Amino acid sequence: MKKDIILCGVGGQGILSIATVIGEAATQAGLQLKQAEVHGMSQRGGDVQSNLRLSTEPIYSDLIARGSADLIISMEPMEALRYVGYLAPGAWTVSSSEPFVNIPNYPDTDSLLAELKERQNVETLPIEALAREHQVPKSANMILLGMAAAHLEILSPEALRQAISAVFARKGEAIVAANLKAFDLGLNAAK
């Protein structure tokens, strides 16, 4: 089994934390893993993207070819649209529905969301609003990971929960609990 995942968003949104959690879960499950990251001025709100390839068989490249990704996990709807050309037929896009307006000519939000929702197999939620509403404002990225968990297939939600606990353990029990709560919010909202 193989899963090619594109993670994308804007610097500071926690895309690389999602990659770290998935990577930890894959390592603990004994999967093959390759990852390539692009940090486009991430400290200033630029594009951040990661190719994450998981497999039960050897992987020879860390890059995902156009038309072959199984899943896009995006913290930002415009960034999700930027990478749809990489999706394989029948693949999924899981994205925040809330834009991160970081440029003066950012597209009209309603048009952007309409274009995203015109595509097949798209799931969106206002993850930042959910994070604030449930008192986990710094864990919106884990809500997104929870939403995407059902589409990962190669890793179980429980394996992802264990990886969240391991990755955030050094930050203390309160941070682990907040991230697990956020993950479960996304997991349950996606059902």
Q: pLDDT digit string (tens) for 80-112?
A: 999 999 999 999 999 999 998 888 888 999 999
| Stated pTM of the model | 0.93
Phi and psi, residue 64, nearest 5°: -95, 125
Q: Output the pLDDT for position 191.
A: 60
Strands 47-55 and 2-10: antiparallel
- Residue-wise pLDDT tens digits, 19-77: 999 999 999 999 999 998 775 554 556 778 899 999 999 999 999 999 999 999 999 99
End-to-end CA distance of the chain: 23
Please state, in angstroms and rounded to a whole number, the distance separating the CA atoms of residues 116 and 93.
Answer: 9
The full set of domain ranges for the chain reads: 2-189
What does the chain come to in residues? 191
CA 64 distance to own-chain centroid: 16
**H helical segments located in 29-155:** 77-82, 109-117, 127-133, 140-152
Q: Is the pLDDT of residue 186 over 60?
A: yes
Please state, in angstroms and rounded to a whole number, the distance separating the CA atoms of residues 69 and 53.
Answer: 9
pLDDT bracket for residue 10 (50, 70, 90) = confident
Please state, in angstroms and rounded to a whole number, the distance separating the CA atoms of residues 144 and 148.
Answer: 6
Bridge partner list, 4: 53
CB atoms within 10 A of CB 114: 10
- Residue-wise pLDDT tens digits, 113-139: 999 999 999 999 999 999 999 999 999
With tokens 């990478």, the residue in question is 83
With tokens 């604030």, the residue in question is 132
Q: Output the pLDDT for position 43.
A: 55
Q: Output the pLDDT for position 143.
A: 98
CATH number of the 2-189 domain: 3.40.920.10
Please state, in angstroms and rounded to a whole number, the distance separating the CA atoms of residues 64 and 53.
Answer: 8
